[in-house]
Amino acid sequence: MSERVRELIQRWKEDPGSTYSTWFLWEERLKNFRSIRRGLQQVVQEIEANTFGNQYRGSSLETVVHSIAEQRQIFKGADHAFLWKPKLRIPDIYESPENQRAFGRFLDTCACCHTEAELIEAIRVLDARQIKGLGPAAANLMYFLHPTHMPPFNTAIVAGYNALMGSRVKLGRWDEYLAMRSGLLRLNQEYRSLLSNDLGAVAGLLFDLGSGRYTAPPRETDPTAVQAWEADLLKVRQEAASASKAHEGDRTHTEVQGWLRDLGHALGFAVWVAANDRSREYAGGKLGDGCLSTLPLSIAASPGADAVRLIDVLWLTESGGVVAAFEVEHSTSIYSGIVRMLDLALGVPGQAVQGLFLVAPDNREEEVRGQLSRPAFRSVAELHVRYLPYGELERHRQAMMRFGAGLKAVEAIARVLT
């Protein structure tokens, strides 16, 4: 059995359409951790200040859970557990102030603690309150706080775990989640050389099993069953052509970053490319070619430095001041990009950034405007963020490179959002 599981994992990692390739290795996945953590802190602060309110729609919780749900297929539907279901009166964190405060304390404890024992105790304390509708779906929030301790949890992951391990884990109960977690940790340890310390990898394997992309190895010794299973593994690879389309968005993201890099250089600015993007291939070289290798000390030593390093493109003066910041949002939620801009504008003392731009496909303007209208982004209005459509940038970038000066030309084709 162990050799067949090892073969399964190896084939899964080689599959360009697997969750491992499309989500776990996805550069944006790592960028989202900080912004989701920041969003959960805001939820806690609002609950403590008694300003959270009594509904999910428009709340800071909806903003952060929506950001999780948009992260590829593995988290699709992550928001269902938090939607208010009036007939069932669940989840009861909107009408019961005591339960809401208990949920806030749970999130605060998870954000502040560091050990496995503390996290499990936080789960037991929350579970003891028996809050209707607030079960282990909250583990998806915990994953983004402690990815090496708490795996994600959803129907497909549970189905994959049961199929692979021959278990009968059920949804909706924290004790079932903790039992699955124990087995998942053992599984991850056994195949640690093929998986990761980040439990998102093994959860992705189980998700692909539970959603039907792969079939669990047969547990019996029937040669016919083993042969059929191996044939199924080969069949999955035939989907590589369609799966490669999932990467087109990432290539477009890199291409637009390249446009902004080259435009910044042509306008006389020093350019910073996001720390985890600079090694991407672009135009026969690397995206970070000719760009700053380190941020100016005034930024690097600031409280928001970790987030600023992940901003897609920065244009800076020779003295190290940030002139413009660009976040390229091809298909994902703008939440992470906005948080990084806030860290730059509000977390770096002495920085007066002239231009903050959300760069996105032409057809995303209404979506971007809708996102910025959320109460959680009320502080963004003061930053005068602009929307820069792909089409306008592509049409005018060559002329701007030849005849432009400063930010005037870019501001001319961008649209004010707030």
Spell out the per-residue pLDDT of the chain, length 418, in tens: 588 899 999 999 999 889 999 899 987 788 788 889 989 999 999 999 999 988 888 888 988 898 888 877 899 888 888 888 877 778 889 989 999 999 999 999 999 998 999 999 999 999 999 998 889 989 999 999 999 999 999 999 999 999 998 888 888 899 999 999 999 999 999 999 999 999 999 999 999 999 999 999 886 666 665 566 566 556 655 554 444 444 445 558 899 999 999 999 999 999 999 998 999 889 899 999 999 999 999 899 888 888 889 999 999 998 888 999 999 987 666 777 888 888 888 777 777 788 899 999 988 888 888 777 776 676 676 778 899 999 999 999 999 998 878 898 899 999 987 6
What six digits make up the tokens of 284? 């026969």
Closest CA to 154 of 134, 165, 170: 170
What six digits make up the tokens of 393? 């940038």
Task: Print burial letters for 25-61: b (CB count within 10 Å at least 16), e (below 16).
Answer: ebebbebbebbbebbbbbbbebbeeeebbeebeebbb
Closest CA to 271 of 234, 214, 239, 311: 311
